[in-house]
Copies of this chain bind each other. A is one copy, B any other.
Amino acid sequence: MESRIRPRAANTDPPPSRIERLCIERGLKMTGQRRLIARVLSEAEDHPDVEDVYRRALALDSKVSIATVYRTVRLLEENGILERRDFGGGRARYDPADRGHHHHLIDVDSGKVIEFADEEFEALARAMARRLGFDLVGQRLELFGRKVEAEPTRSGGRSKARSS
């Protein structure tokens, strides 16, 4: 039955978030908590750790426990919706998987993380693995850098970057 004929499911019924839709596609049972966490993650533009997700979820609606956040991010990871990252510091950070394949450049001064993709690197990675006798099934690349004084070479190039 089409429930969208409802006169006003106003403030209690925000539209499904991007990640909520992915959950539904995969047939995951959607509870209030999961919807909430999905929303927090959908809106995140950074790489939150579990604490971050928990805090943001609480701020929206204080009906989650941290255990549920842990269980949910694990579930999402197992379903390929999130990717777990480890930038050091002991805690795992999460990154929506549908942002596409990308790597990270960490600004060592500010701690900011910049995402970028680079086709040339992808090709090289495959080649390096192949040279060692392997098929590449995954990779992890992190660059640590410091802002250069002069203007960067005009980024007309092959890399597409997005700061976060």
User: For the complex, is A28 an interface residue (Cβ under 8 Å from B)?
Assistant: no
Which A124-164 residues have a C-beta within 8 angstroms of B? 124-125, 128-148, 151-153, 155, 157, 159, 161
Tally of A interface residues using CB under 8 Å = 40
Contacts of A143 in B (CB 8 A): 125, 128-129, 134, 136, 138-139
**When A86-B88, A88-B86, A137-B108 are in contact, do A132 and B144 touch as well, CB less than 8 Å?**
no
Contact B152 A130, beta carbon cutoff 8 Å:
yes
Contact B108 A132, beta carbon cutoff 8 Å:
no
In the complex, the count of this chain's copies comes to: 2
In the complex, what's the smallest C-beta–C-beta distance from A137 to chain B, in angstroms?
Answer: 5
Interface centre among A107, A132, A136, A144 (most CB of B within 10 A): A132
Measured CB to CB, the residues of A under 8 A from B are: 86, 88, 105, 107-108, 114, 116, 118, 120-121, 124-125, 128-148, 151-153, 155, 157, 159, 161
Q: List 12 A-B contacts (CB under 8 A).
A: A86-B86, A86-B88, A105-B132, A108-B137, A121-B128, A128-B143, A129-B143, A133-B151, A135-B148, A136-B145, A140-B142, A141-B142
